[in-house]
Amino acid sequence: MRTPTRILLVGAGRKGIGHFNTLKAMPALAEVVAAVDPSEAARKQAREAHGIAETYSDLSDALAAVAADAAVISVPNFLHADYTAACLNAGLHVFIEKPIALHMPDIDRMIETADKAGRLVMAGQSQRFSATTRYVKWLIDSGEIGQVRHMLHHRLGASSGRGGDEHSWFAKQAKSGGILPGIGSHSIDVLMWWIGEAPTSTYAQVRRLDPHPEIDIEDDVSLVATTTSGAIINVALSWHLPAGTQWIVGGSKGVIRFDGARDGKIFVNGAEREVPASVPLAGESELLREFLCAIREGRPLAHCSARDVKHAYAVVFAAQESGRTGMPVAL
């Protein structure tokens, strides 16, 4: 009988405990053996409310003491790269919450370190695993709308949806990266996954609209990117325009569109379609299950490896650079 993958939970806050609950529901695949968090309150909650007996305040102490096979990391964005490198160097597979990193050299370092160690690095790009986005991927790959020519996406919400107040790490651009890594990494990753091509250029307008003097994050973006086939991608993101979420994919033979708030229905050439319960794509249909099954089966990740998501983050970082310089950025 195969034993479950031993998980070191790195970060025991809201997101980390959410992952813990998902892992707990898959006892044949995973066992959380310890948790790491600098907060004494979080460690106490992990022990008393969730039954994680072994807790540590420092990652290096945990890596030295705990027998684990993999780490599930949910820490502030600016720590992602260093924590991932530490876990890989200790011989662990790594699941890292998005954004995988805040700078491209860090992603390259993750890929190189994982390759040398023979370990997996999976990014928490959870939107790839919704039934609707998986079905759109299947429709595009099946040729339903022909060659993709234009994709439009907006994710426009209220500032309360950005997470954290002026006292949180998320309110600082250097620590969170702002809206592009914060939610743009989800949206752009889905678009780049759908089209399956490398980006060639990006131009963006990037602004800070929040008037609070202690909040300095970029929070309003409009960008245009192109891909190797000449397809155009338009993305608008804002925490100051509560207008909802929409996706449109136009191809040589038709158009797919759906509202991000719509559950289980899309429109193909104007006709409504039900999203099937099962979509025949490679790998598992759940985020952490894919991570655990790839480890158990000794195979590459079917989705969301560090190398796989690199194209999306290239657009994210190029859009930030374009916002600073006012010029298009070639990729």
**Sequential DSSP letters for 218-252:** --EEEEEEEETT--EEEEEEESS---EEEEEEEES
- Are residues 63 and 166 both part of a single domain? no
- Are residues 95 and 121 both part of a single domain? yes
Cite the beta strand spans of the chain per DSSP E: 5-10, 30-36, 55-56, 70-73, 93-97, 121-124, 148-156, 199-207, 220-227, 232-238, 244-251, 255-259, 265-268, 271-274, 329-330
- Are residues 171 and 249 both part of a single domain? yes
- For the four alpha carbons of 44, 48, 49 and 53, in that order, the dihedral sign comes to positive
Q: Please state, in angstroms and rounded to a whole number, the distance separating the CA atoms of residues 172 and 217.
A: 6
Residue 196: CATH number of its domain: 3.30.360.10
Residue 262: the pLDDT is: 60
Residue 167: the pLDDT is: 83
- Are residues 83 and 215 both part of a single domain? no
- Are residues 70 and 208 both part of a single domain? no
Residue 89: CATH number of its domain: 3.40.50.720
Q: Is 126 exposed, middle or buried (0-12, 13-18, 19+ CB in 10 A)?
A: middle
- Are residues 117 and 175 both part of a single domain? no
Q: Whole-model pTM? A: 0.95
- Are residues 134 and 121 both part of a single domain? no
- Are residues 132 and 121 both part of a single domain? no
- Are residues 225 and 86 both part of a single domain? no
- Are residues 325 and 180 both part of a single domain? yes
- Are residues 93 and 195 both part of a single domain? no
Q: Residue 185: which domain range?
A: 127-281+311-330
Low-confidence ranges of the chain (pLDDT < 50): none
Residue 261: the pLDDT is: 62
- The residue among 128, 135, 153 whose CA lies nearest residue 245 is 153
- Are residues 117 and 210 both part of a single domain? no
Domains in the chain, number: 2
| Contacts of residue 89, Cβ cutoff 8 Å, sequence gap at least 6 | 113, 117
Residue 166: the pLDDT is: 83
Local structure of 140: helix, strand or coil:
helix
